[in-house]
Amino acid sequence: MAINHPSFGKLDPNRVIIFDTTLRDGEQSPGFSMNISEKIRMAEALTELGVDVIEAGFPIASPGDFESVKAIAESHIGQNAEGPVICGLARSGREDVMRAGEAIVPARRKRIHSFISTSPLHMKHKLRMEPEDVLQAVGDSVALARNYTDDVEWSAEDGTRTEDDFLCRCVESAIRNGATTINIPDTVGYALPEDMMRIFTMILERVPGADQVVLSTHNHNDLGLAVANTIAALRAGVRQIECTINGIGERAGNASLEEIVMAIRTRHDAVPYDNKIQTKNILRTSKLLSTITGFDVQPNKAIVGRNAFAHEAGIHQDGVLKLAATYEIMTPESVGWAKNSLVLGKHSGRAAFRDRLETLGYKIGQNQLNDAFRRFKDLADRKKVVFDEDIVALVDDEVMRDHERIRFEALDLRCGSKGPATADLELVVDGEKRTASATGDGPVDATFNAIQKIFPHTANLVLFSVGAVTEGTDAQARTTVRLEENGKMVDGQGSDTDTIVASARAYVHALNKLIVKRERTEPVALTV
């Protein structure tokens, strides 16, 4: 019998709901935190990608988390009746559920996702609660959540290490109290595919009403099995998949959206399920996340890694040239890799630039377009060929800098093997031009010292990394700077053909994020 879902209506039995938790479970991992405007940008990209549910954050965790869930709910993303359901996470306490409920109020389609641990280990040592009290909390939290929305998801944290009878009782109570999605997470990435098959088959057989709700799977990748477990769960009857872009998330991460979606699409013969993902937007969304967080995926990452479609061995190249299908199980274009990414040159005009941006999926305002075009012209003067990747890096860099208090203007350097390096730096702080000269142990040190002179601060530099956007000696550098101040950590990114300019931009970006973060209060400890 087809499930009638409060947000999606009558669901076709083969329809799979894609629940993206990049902005919650993904953002929770060290170094991946995002500010509100970055979260909105990611949420826009996820909407264009076609995800069904965006888990936008954990509203009780901090005022910043609350504000970003609310901001997404209020934005055009949350106001779009055809757009994704906006979801807020909550533990089972009243405060948590109410806070999540308040944050999602403005959204047209909204969900509360409440969870509590159900495994003996977690109940005894983490929650210090008796099973009967946990069972009571399951029903109470779901019933309370239903006061805010008809779309309520309940999760059994550490579900795959929970005793069968107790898991079934909790699921039954959640359904009886109004949950419309039941999620059994493999919180610690312990399960094997056959465990997933067994658990979901058991729930469907034993729990009254389980066939009338959407069953959901949420897998962590500690043993590298998150995607395999997700596929196994699908085959056992699950119809919601929880995943993240690039597989980011707690510890080893979550199941990767792009891998699951392409597995379903490529092996439709064996996994005949449907979803609404526009696969051509996958690469763009993955790159946006890398730009925002400063973490590139590894080169051999399936689907979105630099080598995912590169054929090195002569015998493979020969085969691919004769017929791509000999070694390619999906086309690179189907996930957004361009056939020929050489695009524009220094003679290209504003219209061609804007047109290219639109093809790459960017809709930016006139001011940002003007700034980005100016930087593109500058880049085209310095770089022989400008690739799509260059344009993406440049525009992402520009858009990230919107509304920032400190802006990079210019940098002049003297450095080499003969003595200390000197940096002459110009920044604009709150609209006012400021300059400083500083020396240092190398050009990066000198530049960072000059920033310190212009904008004194107590933050420590804890990470500095440099990568290349494309190949060749004239490639743009993409740098990441991580600053720490009183336990608060921020990452900034910058790109430029000049590595030191990219470093200055990244440092300034991180400082701007720190200024915003200073104004926020600390997250409350989350133990229950």
CA distance 168 to 187: 18
**Closest-approach residue to Zn ion (CB):** 25
Evaluated on CA atoms 353, 359, 362, 365, the torsion sign reads: positive
Binding to ligand KIV (CB under 6 A) within 155-174 occurs at: 155, 157
153 in contact with Zn ion (CB under 5 A) = no
Assess 240 for contact with ligand KIV (CB under 6 A): no
Residue 241 host element (H or E): strand 240-243
Considering beta carbons, is residue 157 or 389 the nearer one to ligand KIV? 157
User: Among 306, 277, 193, 301, which Cα is nearest to 20's?
Assistant: 277
Select the span of 5-13, 20-28, 224-232, 365-373 touching Zn ion (CB under 5 A).
Answer: 20-28
Instruction: Identify what 388 binds: Zn ion, ligand KIV, none; CB under 5 to 8 Å per kind.
Output: none
Contact 170, 137 (CB under 8 A): no
Nearer to ligand KIV, 245 or 508 (CB): 245
Please say which residue, 155 or 497, places its beta carbon nearer to ligand KIV. Answer: 155
The correct pick among 119, 187, 240, 497 for binding ligand KIV (CB under 6 A) is 187
Q: Which lies closer to ligand KIV via its Cβ, residue 142 or residue 343?
A: 142
Number of residues that bind ligand KIV (CB under 6 A): 8
Beta strands 406-414 and 421-429, pairing class: antiparallel
Q: Could you tell me which of 284, 435, 439, 464 has the C-alpha nearest to residue 359? A: 284
Contact pattern from residue 84 through residue 123 relative to ligand KIV, giving x for each residue in contact according to CB under 6 A and a dash for the rest? -------------------------------x--------
Q: 181-186 and 214-219: which strand pairing?
A: parallel
Shorter beta-carbon distance to Zn ion: residue 19 or 148 = 19
* Closer Cβ to ligand KIV, 115 or 295, answer by number: 115
In degrees and rounded to multiples of 5, residue 18 shows phi and psi of -100, 115
- Helix residue ranges per DSSP H, 146-256: 164-176, 193-206, 226-235
Report yes or no: 251 and 222 within 8 Å, Cβ to Cβ.
Answer: yes
Cβ nearer to Zn ion, comparing 219 with 275 = 219
Smallest separation (angstroms) from Zn ion to the CB of 207:
22
The CB-of-157 to ligand KIV minimum distance in angstroms stands at 4
Least distance (Å) between residue 158 CB and Zn ion: 10
Which residue in 185, 253, 361, 440 binds ligand KIV (CB under 6 A)?
185
Selected range binding Zn ion among 25-33, 140-148, 275-283, 327-335, rule: CB under 5 A: 25-33
Residue 197 structure tokens: 């098959």
Please tell me the distance from the alpha carbon of residue 256 to that of residue 241, in angstroms, as a whole number: 10
Token look-up 């800098």 returns 401
Query: Rounded to an integer, what distance in angstroms lies between the CA atom of residue 453 and that of residue 451?
Result: 5
State yes or no: residue 218 binds ligand KIV (CB under 6 A).
Answer: yes
**Residue 27 interacting with Zn ion (CB under 5 A):** no
Of the candidates 125, 109, 105, the one whose C-alpha atom is nearest the C-alpha of residue 117 is 125
117 binds, among ligand KIV, Zn ion, none (CB under 5 to 8 A by kind): none
* Binder of residue 33, out of ligand KIV, Zn ion, none (CB less than 5 to 8 A by kind): none
CB atoms closer than 10 angstroms to residue 381: 9
CB of 175 to ligand KIV, least distance (A): 17
CA distances from 62 to 57, 114, 186, 525 (A): 10, 17, 25, 9
Instruction: Tell which one of 17, 18, 25, 281 touches Zn ion (CB under 5 A).
Output: 25
User: Does 25 engage in binding with ligand KIV (CB under 6 A)?
Assistant: yes
Residue-wise DSSP of 459-512: PEEEEEEEEESSSSTTPPEEEEEEEEETTEEEEEEEEESSHHHHHHHHHHHHHH
Which residue ranges make up the site for Zn ion (CB under 5 A)? 25
Which residue ranges make up the site for ligand KIV (CB under 6 A)? 25, 115, 155, 157, 185, 187, 218, 220
